């Protein structure tokens, strides 16, 4: 009986030892499958913490970017507000000191180059204008200065009629008949009176001057018609 008891205890002891050895082996296998690291639950927690930290970092960077953008926009608006009165003042003034200085500098450089051409162009334009005025008055361009003023056109007509009377009264003129010479002799004093009337009308106020000029022009029309008749021109 004692032998069987020891044998029985020996068998029970050996069985329990094998069970413990198998459990240790299974735990090691599981640990090997997890790569020797922490259990799966701990790994998920670590990954969540890392993702949360990355998200918080990205959000902080976005917030910082927004702040920088707002700061830049605020600074730009402040600059526009400061420059607006200056621009408005420059528009009102039209000519600022800086702009005037630039224009003077450009003028000093360009003026010597353009001056000869400008003078030549002005001379040509003046000559053409004088020629036009002289042709309109019926006189030579070099006589234009003698017929300037408000009554210049009437003075020019009087001068032309006087020259025609001189030619009519000369002996070389074909139409220098006795009647023509008497007409020239009677008309010269009247031309002198009309010249005085023109000079007097030039000093009158505008309405009276225009009226006087029309009356003088009417008398000159009659004299010119008679002169053409003596020259053999029927009107």
Q: Tell me the per-residue pLDDT of 104-135, one tens digit each, with 9 for 90 and over.
A: 888 888 778 788 888 888 888 888 887 888 88
DSSP tag of 112:
H
Question: Do residues 201 and 151 touch, judged by C-beta distance below 8 A?
Answer: yes
Residue 70 counted as domain residue: no
For 157, the token pair is: 């007509």
Residue 214 counted as domain residue: yes
- Residues 118, 153 within the same domain: no
Residue 4 counted as domain residue: no
User: What's the whole-number mean pLDDT along residues 179-207?
Assistant: 91
Residue 48 counted as domain residue: no
Give the CA dihedral 15, 18, 20, 24, nearest 10 degrees: -170
Q: How high does pLDDT run on average in the chain?
A: 76
State the helix-helix crossing angle for 206-230 and 152-169, rounded to 10 degrees.
20
Residue 159 counted as domain residue: yes
For 139, the token pair is: 């006189």
Give the pLDDT score at 115: 81
Residue 157 counted as domain residue: yes
Task: pLDDT band for 170, please (50, 70, 90 cuts).
Answer: confident
What is the C-alpha separation between 72 and 89, in angstroms, rounded?
A: 26
Number of H helices, E strands in the chain: 6, 0
Task: pLDDT band for 30, please (50, 70, 90 cuts).
Answer: very low
User: What's the whole-number mean pLDDT along residues 82-90?
Assistant: 61
Give the CA dihedral 110, 113, 119, 125, nearest 10 degrees: -80
Higher pLDDT, 84 or 96: 96
Length of the chain: 235
Give the pLDDT score at 94: 61
> Each residue of 200-226: pLDDT tens digit?
999 999 999 999 999 999 999 999 999
What is the C-alpha separation between 16 and 8, in angstroms, rounded?
A: 13
Give the pLDDT score at 22: 46
Examine the fold and report which residue of 139, 172, 192 is the final residue of a domain before the chain moves on.
Answer: 139
Q: Is the pLDDT of residue 84 over 60?
A: yes
- Residues 154, 134 within the same domain: no
Task: pLDDT band for 93, please (50, 70, 90 cuts).
Answer: low
- Residues 107, 130 within the same domain: yes
The number of folded domains in the chain is 2
Residue 47 counted as domain residue: no
Domain that holds residue 171: 149-230
DSSP tag of 171:
T
Q: Is the pLDDT of residue 21 over 50?
A: no
Half-sphere exposure of 223 (CA within 13 A, CB side): 25
HEC string for 140-165: CHHHHHHHCCCCHHHHHHHHHHHHHH
């Amino acid at each position: 009986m004692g032998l069987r008891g020891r044998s029985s205890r020996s068998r029970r002891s050996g069985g329990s030892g094998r069970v413990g050895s198998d459990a240790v082996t299974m735990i090691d296998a599981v640990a090997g499958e997890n790569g020797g690291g922490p259990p799966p639950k701990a790994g998920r927690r670590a990954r969540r913490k890392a993702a949360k930290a990355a998200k918080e970092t990205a959000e902080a960077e976005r917030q910082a970017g927004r702040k920088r953008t707002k700061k830049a926009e605020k600074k730009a608006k402040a600059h526009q507000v400061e420059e607006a009165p200056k621009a408005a003042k420059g528009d009102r003034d039209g000519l600022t000191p800086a702009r005037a200085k630039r224009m003077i500098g450009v003028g000093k450089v360009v003026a010597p180059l353009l001056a000869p051409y400008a003078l030549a162009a002005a001379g040509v334009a003046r000559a053409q204008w004088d020629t036009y005025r002289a042709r309109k008055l019926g006189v030579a361009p070099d006589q234009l200065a003698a017929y300037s003023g408000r009554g210049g056109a009437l003075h020019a007509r009087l001068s032309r009629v006087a020259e025609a009377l001189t030619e009519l009264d000369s002996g070389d003129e074909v139409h220098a008949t006795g009647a023509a010479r008497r007409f020239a002799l009677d008309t010269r004093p009247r031309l002198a009176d009309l010249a005085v009337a023109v000079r007097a009308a030039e000093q009158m106020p505008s309405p009276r001057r225009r009226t006087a000029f029309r009356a003088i022009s009417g008398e000159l029309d009659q004299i010119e018609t008679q002169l053409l008749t003596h020259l053999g021109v029927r009107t």
